[in-house]
Structures are given as C-alpha cells and as structure tokens.
Amino acid sequence: MLLAPLLGSFLGCPPPEDSAGACAPEIETFAAEGAPITLETGAVGLIRAYPISLPGSGTLKLRITGPVEVVDAAGSVLTEVDAPAEVYLRATGSGVGQIIVSAGRGCATKIEVRGVTPAPLVGRPRWYSPFWQSATSFWAGESVDLGLDPARFPDRVGIPFDAYVVAHRSTETWASDAALVGLAGTPVEGTLEAGILAPMELAVLDAGDDALGEYDIVIDQDRDGLLGPGDLIQGLGSAGITVLGDLTQPGPHAVETDDVSGGWFLGERVWWPADLAALGPRPLVVISHGNGHEYIWYDYLGEHLASWGYVVMAHQNNTEPGIETASTTTLTNTDWLLGHLEEPGGGALVGLVDSTRIGWIGHSRGGEGIVRALDRLVDGDFVPDNFGADNIRYLASIAPTVFNPLDDSDPHDRPYLLLAGTADGDVTGGVESPIVQFFRIWEKGTGPKAAAYVHGASHNDFNCCAAQEGQGPSLIGRDEAQVVARAYMLAVARAWLDGDDALLDVFRNEYAGFVPLSFASADIVATSWRNAATAGDGVLDDFQTEHDADVSSSGTVVTCTADMLLEDQLRDRDKVLAWSEDDPMNAMTHNGLPGDEAWGAVFSWSESSAPFWAVEVPESLSDSTPWTTISFSVAQRSRHPETDNWGGAMAFGVTLVDQDGVESTVDFADQALVPFPYARLGNGTGRGWANEFVTVRINLADFTVGSEIDLAQLAEVRLDFGEAHGAPSGAVGLDSVEFAR
C-alpha cells in the first residue's frame, strides 16, 4: 500500500558475479535507476527506514555487509525473507554497505546503500560557494528554503515529492500520529533535479507569541500525506527548525514592580510578570550594578525579562571597597529576597519563585562580583540559607573588571555570557591593564560561553543614567546598546534557565549572516561561542599545548604559507596598541597576566599572495560524522599594517580534504565575516582597539553539497586567505580549530 504509487522502478545495479541472469530476485523500490540508496541514520521504527518490495516467491537469503539492516514492518531484523514481502532498510551507521538478496542456485541481486548522518534539509541560499548554507534556525519572516542535494540523494533524482512544514512533534507523537498537517502554505510539490543543489522556497514562518517557533520539515516522498518509510524528516527528536522572533521587544506578560529593603545594602527593585500566579514558579534573575551605579538604573532589563516571564531583582551592590564586598551583596541580596518573598508586591511572589533556577547578571565591578560570588559558593566560603551553588544556572557579565586572580573570579563550569562595548571608556577592554581585559574571565570559564562585543557601545550605555564616557567613532548610544542588551540577555536567560537552546544561535551563527531582528543595520557585533570543555568537541588545534607553530595541539602537522606565523599567549606584551614587530600579539586581550592560559596563533599576508593555514586531521578525528560543524575563532589584528592595508571586514575560505584527496570548500568571499577592528584612537599611534575574535561555525553537511568528499575520512582542514577569498592582505589571530556539535 505504502509503496504502491512508487513501485515500478527496478533497481538498476548490475547483478553480482554469482547471479544467474533472469533468475535473480526482483526488487522494487522508488530509487532512481542505478543509484545507490542513501539511508539517513537515526531511524526510529520505520521513520527514516527505506521501503523495498520483493515481489517474487520463495525464500530469499539476505547477505548484508556494512552499516545497514533489513527489518520487517514490526522492526524485527531479518536475515531471510519469504517473498512476496515488503521490507525496510535502515542505516546502523555511516558508510557504504550492500545487501545481496539471494534466491539460491547462484541467483542473487545486489542493493548498494550508503549510510549518512542526517543533515538539515533546509537553509539559505548564499552568494558564496557552495551557494547554500544549511540551517536549523531562522528569523521570523525569513524565507525557509528547501535544499535537497542530488549528490546526497542520487536515488531520489527525478522523483516528485511533497515538502511539508509541520508543527514540531516529539518522536513518540510522530510514532502514534504520522499524519502530515502542512503549515504556511505547505505542502509544496517538488522534484529533485539532477545537477547542483537548487534551493526551493518553502515557507515564511512566524515565531509565535513566545518568539520561538518549533517546526519539523518532512519530504513526503510517496506523497501519501503520512510520515513513513522512504520519507525524509528534519526534526526527529528535537525540533527540525526553530524560528526566532524579535528578542528586543517586550514579551507577552504585563509587568509589576516594587522596591523593597532588608536594611544595609539590601535595597532591591523587583519586577515580575503580572500573571505570575498563573505561570507558576519562575526562575529568578538578579542584576548587580557597578561602581558608582545604582540598582534603580536597570529598568530596561528588569522590565524586559519580566515581560518574558522571569522574576527579576536588582540590588544595592557594595562595589567601592572591591570585588569581595560586591560579591557579598550579590549573595546576601539573593538570599534575602528568597527568604522574604512576602515583601515585594504584598506577597505576590510567595511560592512563585523557583530558587533552583537563578541567573546572575552583573555590570562592571558587579560583573566580576557575580563571578566571584559563584566561586565563593563553589568553594563553600559563603553558605546562603535559601539557595546553593548548583542553583546558579548562568552568569552574564557586562564589561566586567578583572581585579582578582582568575582562580578567585572563576566562572567554573557555569554557562557564561560576556557583553561589552568597544567604546568603553571605563573598563576599556584595552591592553593597558589586565584589570580591564574582560575576555580573561571568559577564557577562564569551562562551561558553555558566549560573547558579544558591540562596536560603538560605551560602558554606561548599559544602564540608564551614569555619565557617558564612550570613546571612539560611531557611538551607537544608550538606546541602541540597550536594544542589543535586551536581545542577548533574553537569549541566555531562556536558553540557560528554560532550556530554549536554539536561542543561543544568536552567538553560534556568524553575526553578519544572522543579525537579530530590530538591530540597527549599522550595528556590528563580534560574537563568540565556545562549547563546554566537557562537550566532547574534536579539537584539531586549540594552541593550548604543543607550542611549536608547526605542530597542532592534537599532535599533527600544521602547514602555513602565510608570513610571520607565531603561536603564543594571547597577550599584548608592551601594553601599547601601536603596532610593533617586537610585539606580534599586539592588541590581544584574552591573556593578560602570567598564569593566564589562553594561547593562539597569528600570521599575516600581503597582496599578491594566496596563503593558507592547514592542520592535518589526526586519525582519531578523521571520522568527523559525530560532529555537525567545523568551528574556529578568528580576529583581525588591530593596527597591524596588513590589516590597515585591507581596511575592511574580511572573509576567507575553509577547505576540507579527505583521505582520497577530495577537497570541498566553503568560501565566504565578500561576506563581512570578521569585522574590521573598531577604529578607536589612543594608547599609541594608529586606529583600532582590542582584537575582536569571532567564532565561525560551518555545518559539515555544507561541504558535501555537490561534492564526493567523505566526511568519515578527513585528512586536512585548511583556511585559505588572499584576494580570491575575500581579503588581498590581512593579519589575523586564530584560535580553537575544532569539530563541534
């Protein structure tokens, strides 16, 4: 029944040597003639299984090699079949396999299969090679395009299908309800054409009231309106795609607020959703201000987060003596509120604050104070009555100081956000002092971490009322800086308090290609992302060990044809921003003092050269299929002559090479991938401030578009620079080259 519309296409592979011509068992499937069958791994029951029909008669033996199995409709694995029968193929892993169906007497037919890791079916057309970017997250109102690659699915070429966008369902729900209910004008009929991947506009989606729409994408190959064998799905397990709404706008909840005080340095302003009672217990977000700031200066954040369903509290912060006292008031205020929920709003919070889910936001000295507070909790140096270290789910520092040794101001394994402005005139982020080098704290953390370094934002843009001190050109002003802050602070609160992980794509995706809704078109943000140290990334070269620049941290050979390759600590040695060949790590701020641990590499190139940096893939990582992306961090080097020669945002190409020498390149061409350093004056001659690392993550699946590259047998990862790849001259810093999920 299922196969009925699709039958009639004989498998066209030549019979094996022991076959006996016309006696070979007949096999029917919808596969295009002569093409091996592509099986996506991760089958659940018959979802992602592939139907074949054996219409003959008699007992057929199945000889199976490679990562494939044959099952019946009940999912039982078969080694022989009584024809006629309908059976199903499932991939048990990546790689090539075959099934020989034998009727005895030397009569057999062979089915060739290829197991592949599921890859996104949708994405965005791009103007750079391979002119396609697969994706799992989109902005509301953005076109979601279907991108089936004929090289990936040669068996489906020429066969019509219906493409659906459906509301996301759990695996269990799919198993019990396979009916496809199309949204946003789907299903859309299509046919996979031979040749190159041809994007097909599928739908424009909204994000819903909570700014996070979750959808699944289904290719209904047999066009029966059901998700079944032979169909493709993006979304089995977790949502296939997420559509993000405008994170800068108020959420769906009205907000109430109250000012309360428990005494000396226990003054607090509290915001909460007016319908909190209906929501039930919600997480708490605490805001710790900076030195010379006031706790009543963060209404923009308190109101915003409360409108999205969080209880928010800003408190008096004892920052003037130092970080220890600031950390104390973060701790005591958090504890006091949780112990006095009857105080705000006449008891509106009683029983409605989830003290097991707390986020701490801190600004400036308060931004370091929250990190120190966590360290004291972890060390048992401070024991609150109403919460514990495990209840602090994330830290978010706005332009934090780094007065303490990093062992004392240590984010540990907590998710961590760093938000700062390049025009900061107080905690400058510059090279003059390790105390103002906030990326040092970011480097110290071992949990998942995000950073957003905002061009033209000042220190005090992030509160309402402190005197403006911004330095540099194109200041974006308080209003725009707070637009940016609202979006990023909401993203991490929802991700790290409520599990809405997709919102972290605002950091994981390159900014230039994924600008949040309502950000000004002129905004430039250098975003970084790094997985937790325990995430199991496949590190090719993080420069933390094997400090010979020709050897990667994974012990393999590094080849670089650029100029002046150097591997060193990411620390500006002379504390002056003017370029000097004696200080090749000029403008680096991720490592400020002996004992700091961040290392990286730098190199440069001049016009008329076409340099590359390449790392050999160790055997242990040659099978990249356990990961989904290749990831690395790149910065243009501030005030370097070759950076200034180019004078703009830059791009480059990324090439994977497999063990057979097959290459595939994602070439960003003129994409503004790595921003030109913020053109701030001061601390020596030239223009430019701290080097701004951005994280670039490319879906590994994008390298297979139109390519025969074998991601299970990679030999080399290469970064290509020069005029053909977006910047005829340049100077970059490089860090954390790895396969990641």
Partner 1 sequence: MIVFVLGLLAGVAGAAEPPPVRGIVSAVPFTLSVPYRSDWSAEHPEVRSGTLLVLDVESSWLVLRNGPQPVLYVGAAPAEVLRRDVEAGRVVVVVPGAIGPEVAVFFGGEALPETVTVEAGKLELAGALAGGAVPLRVPQSATVERVLDHAGLWRLAGG
- Binding residues for partner 1, rule: CB under 8 A, are 263-264, 290-292, 318-325, 328, 364-365, 399, 401, 403, 426-428, 433, 435-436, 459, 467
Q: How far is the CB of 433 from partner 1 (least distance, A)?
A: 6
Q: Are 490 and 394 in contact (CB under 8 A)?
A: no
Q: How far is the CB of 318 from partner 1 (least distance, A)?
A: 7
Q: Are 24 and 108 in contact (CB under 8 A)?
A: yes
Q: How far is the CB of 340 from partner 1 (least distance, A)?
A: 17
Of residues 462 and 599, the one with the C-beta less far from partner 1: 462
- Hey, what's the torsion of the CAs at 315, 321, 327, 330, to 10 degrees? -10
> Which of 523, 527, 485 lies closest to 635, judged by CA?
527
- What DSSP line would sit under 540-609, residue for residue? EE-SSS--STTB-TTS-BEEE-SEEEEEEESB-SSS--S--TT-TTTT-BS--SBTB--EEEEEEE-TT-
Q: How far is the CB of 248 from partner 1 (least distance, A)?
A: 26
| Locus of tokens 């599921």 | 118
Of residues 79 and 433, the one with the C-beta less far from partner 1: 433
CA 180 – CA 120 distance, rounded (Å) = 19
CA 80 – CA 310 distance, rounded (Å) = 58
Of residues 355 and 428, the one with the C-beta less far from partner 1: 428
- The 3-state DSSP composition of the chain as helix, strand, coil percent (nearest 5) reads 15, 35, 50
Q: How far is the CB of 332 from partner 1 (least distance, A)?
A: 12
Of residues 234 and 318, the one with the C-beta less far from partner 1: 318
Q: How far is the CB of 452 from partner 1 (least distance, A)?
A: 19
Residues with Cβ within 8 Å of 278's Cβ and at least 6 positions away in sequence, in order, are: none
Residues with Cβ within 8 Å of 264's Cβ and at least 6 positions away in sequence, in order, are: none
Q: How far is the CB of 325 from partner 1 (least distance, A)?
A: 5
Q: How far is the CB of 435 from partner 1 (least distance, A)?
A: 5
CA 668 – CA 114 distance, rounded (Å) = 30
Q: How far is the CB of 264 from partner 1 (least distance, A)?
A: 4
CA 211 – CA 139 distance, rounded (Å) = 9
> Which of 176, 171, 201 lies closest to 186, judged by CA?
201
Q: How far is the CB of 355 from partner 1 (least distance, A)?
A: 27
Give me the half-sphere count of Cα atoms (radius 13 Å) on the Cβ side of residue 424: 26
Give me the half-sphere count of Cα atoms (radius 13 Å) on the Cβ side of residue 568: 18
List, edge to edge, every strand of the sheet that includes 449-454: 255-261, 267-273, 311-315, 282-288, 353-363, 392-398, 416-421, 449-454, 525-530
One-letter amino acid at 286 equals V
Of residues 318 and 624, the one with the C-beta less far from partner 1: 318
Of residues 462 and 613, the one with the C-beta less far from partner 1: 462
Report CA 541 to chain centroid distance, whole Å.
Answer: 19
Of residues 316 and 629, the one with the C-beta less far from partner 1: 316
Q: How far is the CB of 366 from partner 1 (least distance, A)?
A: 9
Q: At what angle do helices 365-379 and 323-339 cross, to 10 degrees?
A: 70
Q: Are 316 and 333 in contact (CB under 8 A)?
A: yes
Report CA 474 to chain centroid distance, whole Å.
Answer: 29
Q: How far is the CB of 403 from partner 1 (least distance, A)?
A: 6
CA 52 – CA 40 distance, rounded (Å) = 16
Of residues 433 and 534, the one with the C-beta less far from partner 1: 433
Q: At what angle do helices 299-307 and 477-498 cross, to 10 degrees?
A: 40
Of residues 447 and 470, the one with the C-beta less far from partner 1: 470
Of residues 325 and 606, the one with the C-beta less far from partner 1: 325
- Hey, what's the torsion of the CAs at 336, 339, 345, 348, to 10 degrees? 150
| Number of helices followed by number of strands (H, E) in the chain | 9, 38
DSSP alpha helix (H) spans, 185-225: none
Of residues 125 and 425, the one with the C-beta less far from partner 1: 425
Of residues 19 and 288, the one with the C-beta less far from partner 1: 288
Q: How far is the CB of 238 from partner 1 (least distance, A)?
A: 41
Q: How far is the CB of 274 from partner 1 (least distance, A)?
A: 33
SS3 call for 567: strand
Phi-psi group of 185: left, alpha or beta (phi > 0 → left; psi -120 to 50 → alpha; rest → beta)? left
Of residues 426 and 623, the one with the C-beta less far from partner 1: 426
Helix (H) or strand (E) holding 26: none
- Which sign does the torsion angle of CA 504, 510, 515, 521 carry? positive
Of residues 58 and 405, the one with the C-beta less far from partner 1: 405
Of residues 59 and 468, the one with the C-beta less far from partner 1: 468
Q: How far is the CB of 464 from partner 1 (least distance, A)?
A: 16
> Which of 503, 282, 284 lies closest to 392, judged by CA?
284
Q: Are 251 and 259 in contact (CB under 8 A)?
A: no
Phi-psi group of 354: left, alpha or beta (phi > 0 → left; psi -120 to 50 → alpha; rest → beta)? beta
Phi-psi group of 348: left, alpha or beta (phi > 0 → left; psi -120 to 50 → alpha; rest → beta)? alpha
Of residues 403 and 416, the one with the C-beta less far from partner 1: 403
Q: How far is the CB of 326 from partner 1 (least distance, A)?
A: 9
